[in-house]
Amino acid sequence: MKATTYLFSWIVFYLANFTVRGQKVKEWIPVFKGVSGAGEPDLYDLWTGSTSLNELNDSVRALDANIKAHFKSPLVERWSKVRQVKISFYANGEEAAFIEFDGASTDKNSWFAKKRVRRSSFGDLKQASTNYFSIKGDLDAPLNRHFFSNKNYGGCDNDFGWTVVVTQDGDCPWERKQTDYPLILYSPVPEGVLWQSNNPGIADFMAIFLEFTDSCPHEAVIVNGVTYTFEASPADFLAHSLELCSFDNNPLALRMCNGGVWEGIIVEPCASNSISNLAKVIITEGNAEKVGMYLSILTSEENMDSKVNIEDVALILEGITGVGGGNRMITNFTVNVVSNIQNADDDVFTADNNNMSATSSIVKSLETQIGSVPNFKGVENNLAVQTTHYSHETLSNGIGFASLQPGNATGGLQKENIETFEDVDDFLMDMIETSIALPPEIVELSQDQTESTQIQVSFIVYQTSKLFASNRLISNKQRAVGSRVISATVENVRVEGLNEPIRAAFLPVVEDVSGNPECVFWDFELENGQGDWSKESCYFNKTSDGRIVCFCDHLTNFAVILDYHGQTGEYDVLSFISIIGCSISIACLIFTIITFTCFRNLRGKRPQRILVNLCFSLLLLYTTFVIGIGLTSCPNCCIVVAILLHYFVLTTLFWMLVEAVNMYLKFVVIFYEETRSFMLKSAVLGWVLPVLPVTIVAAVNFKGTYSNEHYCFMKPGPALYGGILAISAIILAINFVLYTLIIRKLTCRRIMTTANTANDKELTVRVRNAISIMMLLGLTWIFGFFAVDSSEGNRILFQSLFCVCNSLQGFFIFGLFCARRKDVRDAWAKCCCSCRGFFTRSASKQRYASVEKTTDATNTQTSGGGLGLVVPIPLTTLSGSNLNGSNNEV
């Protein structure tokens, strides 16, 4: 009887695989496999969890137990249109038992129920009573019996059922038939089995299958060298590729199963891929938002490669803005991407002409997109945009747009600082950093060109000028964009040839630029469509409160080009010249200081004392410069060097002033010698007073002034102009007046006194010295002032003269006060001769002792012409009368 039932069940199973209600079953699709003894993960947790496992591993998916690993298809989580479900138990490579269930209106956990059983290898299953029949089974501790179909409990010896998956040790011996879990048991006969005594079958693995009314087969397709694998799927089902993005686990491709036939593959952009891979995606209206989102992610600070391919970014933006007109989400992504891309390295934007063309394309895409969305405002760290619809009546006074000065130290653009204003005279308010004002004339142009009562105006401000890569500026290392870039567009209106100009105001915000402003706009037609800066129909109007005001008669992107005070090109050469000149000056100053401190007859007078202090100041200045000017790798050290250089420049200037005052008192004031405590007052003026401007500058903006990434000196700006240049200008003016009075006095004295040769010679020396000092102290700084704001050619000339003359001041001082003065030459000659005499006397004594030891043994006496002691006469005795020559003091 049992054999008959078993045979009947297999006949039913065989026929069921061919006809069901007169229809041919399409296909059983394997979606799950659990292997006995394969270990983690727990099969119950794997089925009920939300993740797939080994879905791309065909060896694991295969219906065998050659690999000890489990499998779960993504179709389990996308349970849809399931017609039937089958769970099968395999032994020795053959299906040994099965149960089929009605899968209609089920989910992944509810199909395993007795009431849904349609057919089975167990003939008594449908009619028998059960105590457990579910995927969950019996979870009462310490039991873990899943996919459990069981008739009754009656103690371990009487437990009776059909299927069970044991995932860990239980109380009964039959749950420990093997040491490795899971343990998959089934009844090997067409009836239930006593788990303890009737030797239940141990399956090599169990598998779960799904069947749909219509389905598309499992298939792997290669597109552009990339393989996309699709699970067998039901009809009218959008299948996901089994290949996923590692970043967000989204599928790489989609494919529709239409009536049991696969349609074409839709390759999806993947956030885990590079920008270059994203650029290969064919962008449509359907995927433009997703592409924009992924590009935004890939260009974010944490994900973007610093050497990003600008051409790819431009291509993607061109694609999404080409189909995303009016889409606010795409506009948001575009603004975010254009802001993000400005964080890339500078050399990315100037690598070649293709990159320069790409940056212009990015700007065009941005302008196109924001122009398609009315009443939009987007502000990112490096970009702010705003588009607004106006009626003509509201623009009777024009319209403006401004980026205000930030209220914190972030340095980026902030939403609260981006504003529009309807009074164009407000474009130059104190708090404005960058602004643009459009005159009321744009309303007339709009009416003439569009015949509409509405007008849409779009504004953009860029934090940097990186997207405006200019061949003109690359070839000119001394000029750079020194402001933010701002633009305005009246949609569908060509604005040019205005009678009342567009007005723009710029506060220079880029480090190392200042002076010689040039108002420019970005002309997309220059450089064969690559674009470049042009100043046609734009001109510099004035500077107001540090803001540069530009006037133009048309609309586009505007900026200001300024002088660049960096360390490139000619400036590297000038730095090298300065180092060499300073090194020479250091040697000359050390020699000068030694000269006027070691010789008593040279250090007693006031002019010499002043000279020594000036030399000490210059020596400290040059030494600090040579040692510390390039210590940019140590920010704190660099700040200290910058402060010391500031101080020693000022002490040098003030000791120059002391020298001029001393000469004035010497030659103009009658009671020169009656000036009390002159050197003490001079020390206060030369060493103490310079501390005051240094302290003020440091207190106002300590790091902002002295912290410089290019060199260890003050940054160009108000602190440099007020803390050094203004002081040097005042001292230079005072010195000029004093020297004029000195020369006048000396000249008049010569005319009024009786002429004699000695007086004429002395007067000539004095006048020549006075003129030399004036040139020494003032000429280099005159060159410095001319270098600040001259034409490009003259500026390089004056900068070169300033570097040479300023770095060689120590050499000039040595020439004037040491090499040219006879008393100094005589003092050193006396010193050298004294040393020579000392060594000469020592040598003579040694020769005399040698002669005594070698006297002739016959004791022959000489009476005149024989050998005798030679005592040299020191040259100092001969030249002493000449060491006190004329001392031409200055």
pLDDT, tens only, 357-381: 888 899 999 999 999 998 999 999 9
- What's the maximum distance between 2 C-alpha atoms anywhere in the chain? 165
Collapse the DSSP code of 238 into the 3-class scheme (helix H, G, I; strand E, B; otherwise coil) and give the result.
strand
Whether the per-residue pLDDT at 473 is higher than 60: the answer is yes
Q: Of 210-219, 268-277, 503-512, 593-602, where does mean pLDDT reach its minimum?
A: 268-277
Q: Report the length, in residues, of the chain.
A: 890
**How is the chain split among helix, strand and coil, in percent rounded to 5?**
45, 20, 35
How far apart are alpha carbons 159 and 177 in whole angstroms? Answer: 15
**Does residue 824 contact residue 815 with C-beta atoms inside 8 Å?**
no
Strand-pairing partners, residue 421, are: 400
Whether the per-residue pLDDT at 669 is higher than 90: the answer is no
Q: 655 is written with which tokens?
A: 């000791």
List strands edge to edge, sheet with 399-404. Answer: 418-421, 399-404, 432-438, 502-506, 547-552, 538-544
Q: Of 160-164, 305-309, 379-383, where does mean pLDDT reach its minimum?
A: 305-309
Single-letter amino acid, residue 184: I
How far apart are alpha carbons 227 and 542 in whole angstroms? Answer: 64
Residue pointed to by tokens 């009786």: 754
List strands edge to edge, sheet with 261-267. Answer: 237-240, 253-258, 261-267
**Does residue 403 contact residue 486 with C-beta atoms inside 8 Å?**
yes
Strand-pairing partners, residue 160, are: 152, 194
How far apart are alpha carbons 356 and 339 in whole angstroms? Answer: 17
Strand-pairing partners, residue 211, are: 84
User: Beta-carbon neighbour count of residue 583 at 10 Å?
Assistant: 15
Whether the per-residue pLDDT at 7 is higher than 60: the answer is no
Confidence of residue 117 (pLDDT cuts 50, 70, 90): very high
Q: Per the omega criterion (within 30 degrees of 0), is the bond before 607 cis?
A: no
How far apart are alpha carbons 772 and 805 in whole angstroms? Answer: 13
How far apart are alpha carbons 798 and 776 in whole angstroms? Answer: 16
Cα atoms in the 13 Å half-sphere on the side-chain side of 849: 6
Which among 301, 311, 305 has a CA at the least distance from the CA of 351? Answer: 311
Collapse the DSSP code of 729 into the 3-class scheme (helix H, G, I; strand E, B; otherwise coil) and give the result.
helix
Kindly state the DSSP code that residue 348 receives in the 8-state scheme.
Answer: G
Radius of gyration of the chain (CA): 47
Q: If you average pLDDT over residues 2-26, what whole number do you get?
A: 42
Whether the per-residue pLDDT at 577 is higher than 90: the answer is no
**Does residue 94 contact residue 50 with C-beta atoms inside 8 Å?**
no
**Does residue 436 contact residue 399 with C-beta atoms inside 8 Å?**
no
How far apart are alpha carbons 888 and 890 in whole angstroms? Answer: 7
Confidence of residue 537 (pLDDT cuts 50, 70, 90): confident
| Residue predicted with more confidence, 427 or 498 | 498
pLDDT at 563: 61
Whether the per-residue pLDDT at 203 is higher than 50: the answer is yes
CB burial readout 6-20, b (16+ within 10 A) else e: beebeeebeebeeeb
pLDDT at 95: 95
Whether the per-residue pLDDT at 443 is higher than 80: the answer is yes
Q: If you average pLDDT over residues 249-258, what whole number do you get?
A: 83
How far apart are alpha carbons 838 and 268 in whole angstroms? Answer: 96
pLDDT at 884: 31
Please report, for residues 36, 110, 147, 182, 744, the alpha-carbon distance to residue 48 in angstroms, rounded to integers and kept in the order given: 18, 11, 12, 16, 106
Whether the per-residue pLDDT at 883 is higher than 60: the answer is no
The 3-state secondary structure of 758-807 reads: HHHHHHHHHHHHHHHHHHHHHHHHHHHHHHHCCCHHHHHHHHHHHHHHHH
pLDDT at 787: 55
Collapse the DSSP code of 59 into the 3-class scheme (helix H, G, I; strand E, B; otherwise coil) and give the result.
helix
pLDDT at 48: 93
Whether the per-residue pLDDT at 355 is higher than 90: the answer is no
pLDDT at 200: 92
Collapse the DSSP code of 836 into the 3-class scheme (helix H, G, I; strand E, B; otherwise coil) and give the result.
helix
Which among 180, 167, 235 has a CA at the least distance from the CA of 65? Answer: 180
Collapse the DSSP code of 347 into the 3-class scheme (helix H, G, I; strand E, B; otherwise coil) and give the result.
helix
| Residue predicted with more confidence, 641 or 740 | 641
Q: 345 is written with which tokens?
A: 């390295």
CA dihedral of 357, 361, 362, 366, whole degrees rounded to 10:
160
Strand-pairing partners, residue 457, are: 388, 490
Q: If you average pLDDT over residues 603-617, what whole number do you get?
A: 83
Q: Using a CB cutoff of 8 Å and minimum separation of 24, what contacts does 747-755 make? A: none
pLDDT at 618: 84
Above pLDDT 70, what percent of the chain? 78
How far apart are alpha carbons 117 and 124 in whole angstroms? Answer: 12
Whether the per-residue pLDDT at 868 is higher than 50: the answer is no
pLDDT at 780: 62
Confidence of residue 796 (pLDDT cuts 50, 70, 90): low
Single-letter amino acid, residue 702: F
Burial class (CB in 10 A: 0-12, 13-18, 19+), 853: exposed
Whether the per-residue pLDDT at 440 is higher than 80: the answer is yes
Strands 84-91, 454-462: parallel, antiparallel or unpaired by DSSP? unpaired
**Does residue 484 contact residue 459 with C-beta atoms inside 8 Å?**
no
How far apart are alpha carbons 254 and 228 in whole angstroms? Answer: 9
Whether the per-residue pLDDT at 822 is higher than 90: the answer is no
Please say whether the dihedral angle defined by the alpha carbons of residues 178, 183, 186 and 188, taken in this order, is positive or negative. negative
Which among 244, 226, 151, 232 has a CA at the least distance from the CA of 193? Answer: 151
User: Beta-carbon neighbour count of residue 22 at 10 Å?
Assistant: 5
